[in-house]
Structure 1
Amino acid sequence: MPEILPIRPWRYSKELTRTIDSLTSPLFDVVSEKQRKALYQHPYNSIHLSVPKETPADAGKRLAQWKHQGILLQDRLPGIYVYYQYFTLAGSSREYCRKGFMCHIRVYEWDEQVILRHENTIPKAVNDRIDLLENTQLHASATHGLYTDSTFELERYMDEAIQTPLYETEDYQGVRDVMACIQDHTIVQRFIQVLQQGNVILADGHHRYEGSLVYKHKQQAANPAHTGREGYNYHLMYLTNTEADDLRILPTHRLIHGLPGFDEETLLQRLEQDFTITPLDDADTLPEVIAGKRWAFGLMFRDNAYKVRLKPGALDSMPWPFPPVVKALDLTVMHYFIIEKALGIPGREQRSATNVSFDRSFADCLKKVLQQEAQLAIITNEVSIDEVKAVCHSGYTMPQKSTYFYPKVIGGYLFSSISEPEFALPVYAPF
């Protein structure tokens, strides 16, 4: 079962945190080039440690300099860092609040089935994270994990702590981020005990976690006195409860472009074998027309739009060797019946196909199709947390870009060191 520990993070000095919003940054895999250029202009922004403009070695030197100059200071006592994100979604006035906390978690092998993944990683992105970790021995941002507690015991402690926040900002997503700290020994122990009761599903940050796993292997091989308690055995994670109603997963649509011989009429004829096809007068209604309907998708061409829904029994003809829980996913259906069978892009090539791209914004999809930047947009529904759970426990992974947990965690509130002198809890800590 998952082992977590409180953290003794490095945080910006009080003088700098008066303008903490100028120090925060998006995660490495979502920050745009435009955002990077703007953030690099601030000499102390967290982007310099999470997505450095220079080499990983230079990032390590910068980190040492920040520590020496007092730009970053390490907390004296370890604690659990409560992190709430308040947000709204398009088309609704409801304010959501995703409640979670940051801590260290032991790095487990995938086959131990303690931390479960739902995506595969891309080697280049993993290598980038390993290089940075080796040179800084620092987790500049937390991955996002999901635990399950139907009693909501920990939320009671978090709700109390968040009343006296350390930080409160509005980020690039328009989300209000609030952080607080729990250092009470008895309460921290309850967090540790509750997390021991089940698995953790990795929601976001597969590349960063995989980087920690590879780094642990390297350090363990080089350390004949390895005990399993060293800093390199742990990883920074933001944990939220799967049972909460404020855990949102947004859909990620597919765009088809540059496909030779692409023809709308031919595609529709190929789809007729497996789908019921309904023409629509207005492409703007596609998300509402397919909402909540299993195996239903929107097809958006420049001049026409259609709702397509898989016919009863068609799923039985899918040859892909997946268990039923994976075959039945909307996205598996889309990738086989539409992208492979109808468009002719084999499943094994789709991950690296230059003809398939991804976009979370329906408005962007519509714009790209109308401006002929894309030949076709395939609009899909969001994935449910129950589907994510089922796939993870099956031992399989979901199709690429299946989930977009919203909102994204931001970097800059704290940094977690796995350098041995800084990772070890001080003798005066009650843990």
Structure 2
Amino acid sequence: MAEIIPLRGWRYNQELSKNIQDLTSPLFDVVSVKQREALYQNPFNSIHLSVPQGIDPAQEAAERLQNWKTEGILRQDYLPGIYVYYQYFRLPGSDQEYCRKGFMCHMRAYDWSEKVLLRHENTLPASVNDRIALLAATQMQVSPTHGLYTDPDFMLEKYMDEAIQAPLHESEDYQGVRDVVAVIQDARIIKEFVNTLKDKPVLLADGHHRYEGSLQYRKSQMAGNQNHTGQEPYNYHFIYLTNTEACAVRILPTHRLVTQISLSSEEFLKNLAIYFTLTELSDPYDLNEIIVGKPWAFGMYLYGKPYKIRLKPEVHAQINWQLPDVVKALDLTVLHYFVFEKILGIAQEAQRYSEQIQYIRNFAECLARVDHGEAAVAFITNAVTMEQVKTVCYSGALMPQKSTFFYPKVISGFVFSSIKQNEFYLENSACF
């Protein structure tokens, strides 16, 4: 099953690390334009490597990275390690603090067909191409993808709890989350991590585009290497692993906006009524609460008017996409099939590329976009559950794109992972 190994992380030098919160950045696919512009003002912020600027952004990142190495802005840890990463957070409207416990390492980049790393949703092709170009130019993985392993015995938490008592970095990020990073360099303990994962598959929680980029880069390198052995650095991927059995692994919903529809409001509502029961509401701010716990129910904000819509159970069997029943049963499959395909005429595959559909996590932003005329309609959704993620992954099928939003998001800038030949190999790799 999953082969993991420790890594010799690249990190900001000791002096710069004193203000690590000024150097970290959100993931490339969640950072807003406003956040980017503010972060770009710091010449050493990790945003310059994860979302580079310039005419040739990937080359710009490669040149900057080399300068940072030469000038000692970034330094590589001498010993390999497992990097423990804890995130302390609260959910909106709650005072309870959670701690999501995980660790960062290298994992072999498995093809999907090997069924070791299991995905649960589709990718957006443009984002994958962007990641391939960046990886090829820099040979540096700036932020880990988020994977999930299942260990009901919590074998590794005792080692992580001990390590986190001596942190390398601590900061509060843009989400209001307290991030703490530590490292384990004891070969005996690292072997416990390796052995715990070797008989387990890994579910890909977040970072499908970065992982797909690693796979495509690996394939291109294999094609040009007649002496490929499978041990080259390009065979490995930077990953952050957390235990599915922990209560602090949280998934939030990702809502849908449709920028424009060709139907009038009356026609659209009439077509919806064929498949859904419609209830007009008075307050749009009730939309996210009125659907909680109700399968196949959505909040809808159509040209400034709020509705609750819920699929009529008897029409569910009409879904004719070639999907297993566990995927057909998902709320988002219902929305994408009956609304986006049957009513709006956007075919299943075309939905991955459609500029007509936008994916927004923030509920208030959804309403504001409609109010400001930037979208015709917003669909408010329930979150996918962890059990649904597991079931879909093990089925081998895929959810619609942008189905899950694991919270909190991993932050870039604490540790970087190199797949350069002279920076990757571990002299004592046989110990692991």
Structure 2 length normalisation: TM-score? Answer: 0.95
Matched-pair contact (CA < 8 Å) for 2:149–2:203 = yes
Deviation at 1:407, TM superposition (A): 1.1
- Structure 1 distance, partners of 2:279, 2:181, is 48
Name the amino acid aligned to 2:393: C
Does the residue aligned with 1:267 lie in a helix, a strand or coil?
helix
- Structure 2 distance, partners of 1:346, 1:197, is 39
In the other structure, the counterpart of 1:295 is 296
In the other structure, the counterpart of 1:7 is 7
- Structure 1 distance, partners of 2:429, 2:360, is 50
Deviation at 1:371, TM superposition (A): 3.0
In the other structure, the counterpart of 2:39 is 39
In the other structure, the counterpart of 1:391 is 392
- Structure 1 distance, partners of 2:352, 2:212, is 18
In the other structure, the counterpart of 2:272 is 271
- Structure 1 distance, partners of 2:17, 2:113, is 41
Counting only pairs closer than 5 Å after superposition, residues 65-76 of structure 1 correspond to structure 2 as 65-76=67-78
Matched-pair contact (CA < 8 Å) for 1:77–1:429 = no
Deviation at 1:57, TM superposition (A): 2.4
Does residue 18 of structure 1 match 2:21? no
Deviation at 1:13, TM superposition (A): 0.8
Counting only pairs closer than 5 Å after superposition, residues 346-385 of structure 1 correspond to structure 2 as 346-385=347-386
In the other structure, the counterpart of 2:89 is 87
Deviation at 1:36, TM superposition (A): 1.9
Matched-pair contact (CA < 8 Å) for 2:124–2:401 = no
Does residue 50 of structure 1 match 2:50? yes
Name the amino acid aligned to 2:9: P
Provide, for residues 30-75 of structure 1, a one-character-per-residue CA deviation record: whole Å limited to 9, x for no partner.
Answer: 1222222222221211112222113322322222222121111111
- Structure 2 distance, partners of 1:123, 1:82, is 31
Provide, for residues 189-226 of structure 1, a one-character-per-residue CA deviation record: whole Å limited to 9, x for no partner.
Answer: 11111111221111111111111112212222222332
Provide, for residues 332-384 of structure 1, a one-character-per-residue CA deviation record: whole Å limited to 9, x for no partner.
Answer: 00111222223333333322223221211111122222333322211110001
Matched-pair contact (CA < 8 Å) for 1:145–1:202 = yes
Counting only pairs closer than 5 Å after superposition, residues 112-127 of structure 1 correspond to structure 2 as 112-127=114-129
In the other structure, the counterpart of 1:246 is 248
Q: Against the structure 1 CA distance between its residues 237 and 319, is the aligned structure 2 distance closer, same or farther, given a 3 Å change threshold? A: same
- Structure 2 distance, partners of 1:130, 1:19, is 30
- Structure 1 distance, partners of 2:12, 2:147, is 25
Where do 5+ consecutive residues of structure 1 fail to align?
Answer: none
Name the amino acid aligned to 2:44: Y
Name the amino acid aligned to 2:15: E
Provide, for residues 104-125 of structure 1, a one-character-per-residue CA deviation record: whole Å limited to 9, x for no partner.
Answer: 0001111000111122223332
Matched-pair contact (CA < 8 Å) for 1:6–1:188 = yes
- Structure 1 distance, partners of 2:334, 2:94, is 29
Structure 1 length normalisation: TM-score? Answer: 0.95
Counting only pairs closer than 5 Å after superposition, residues 380-419 of structure 1 correspond to structure 2 as 380-419=381-420
Matched-pair contact (CA < 8 Å) for 1:86–1:95 = yes
Q: Against the structure 1 CA distance between its residues 268 and 258, is the aligned structure 2 distance closer, same or farther, given a 3 Å change threshold? A: closer
Does the residue aligned with 1:153 lie in a helix, a strand or coil?
coil
- Structure 2 distance, partners of 1:197, 1:128, is 33
Equivalent position to 1:202, from 184, 201, 204:
204
More deviation, 10-19/367-376:
367-376
- Structure 2 distance, partners of 1:122, 1:379, is 21
Counting only pairs closer than 5 Å after superposition, residues 180-329 of structure 1 correspond to structure 2 as 180-263=182-265, 265-329=266-330
In the other structure, the counterpart of 1:333 is 334
Q: Calculate the aligned-residue CA RMSD, in Å.
A: 1.7
Where do 5+ consecutive residues of structure 2 fail to align?
Answer: none
In the other structure, the counterpart of 1:179 is 181
Equivalent position to 2:147, from 138, 145, 148:
145
Does the residue aligned with 2:18 lie in a helix, a strand or coil?
helix
Does the residue aligned with 2:246 lie in a helix, a strand or coil?
coil
- Structure 2 distance, partners of 1:64, 1:363, is 42
- Structure 2 distance, partners of 1:48, 1:373, is 30
- Structure 1 distance, partners of 2:304, 2:27, is 37
Name the amino acid aligned to 1:410: I
- Structure 2 distance, partners of 1:275, 1:223, is 55
Matched-pair contact (CA < 8 Å) for 1:340–1:346 = yes
Matched-pair contact (CA < 8 Å) for 1:318–1:336 = yes
Does the residue aligned with 1:335 lie in a helix, a strand or coil?
helix
More deviation, 414-423/267-276:
267-276
Count of residue pairs brought into register by the alignment = 430
